């Protein structure tokens, strides 16, 4: 099943992946990480990740790996 992995330490919480995902599977955390950012969280609902990698393409920090 397609999925993604977000590198919490690389993520700067910009949120660009959240608007890129056509399935709206990514949100920003409420918690601040070590660098002071609120990183992105991947959470599947009944809608599943298609592995389209649009989120990863949008991520300026190359913080997302996509598997399919």
Site string for ligand SF4, 13-52 (x = CB under 6 A): xxxxx--xx-x-xx------------xx--------xxxx
Token pair of 7, please? Answer: 């590198």
Among 4, 19, 65, 67, the residue binding ligand SF4 under the rule CB under 6 A is 4
To the nearest whole angstrom, how small is the minimum distance from the Cβ of residue 45 to another protein? 20
Exposed e or buried b for every residue in 28-63, given b needs 16+ CB within 10 A? beeeeeeeebbbbbbeeeeeebeebbbbbebbebeb
Residues at the site binding another protein, with contacts judged by CB under 8 A: 1-3, 9-10, 12-16, 18-20, 35-37, 51, 53-54, 56-62, 64-68
């Amino acid at each position: 099943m397609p999925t993604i992995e977000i590198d919490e330490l690389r993520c700067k919480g910009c949120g660009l992946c959240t608007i890129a995902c056509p399935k709206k599977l990514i949100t920003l955390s409420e918690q601040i990480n070590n660098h002071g950012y609120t990183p992105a969280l991947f959470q599947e609902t009944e809608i599943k990740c298609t592995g389209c990698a649009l989120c990863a393409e949008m991520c300026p920090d190359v913080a997302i790996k996509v598997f399919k």
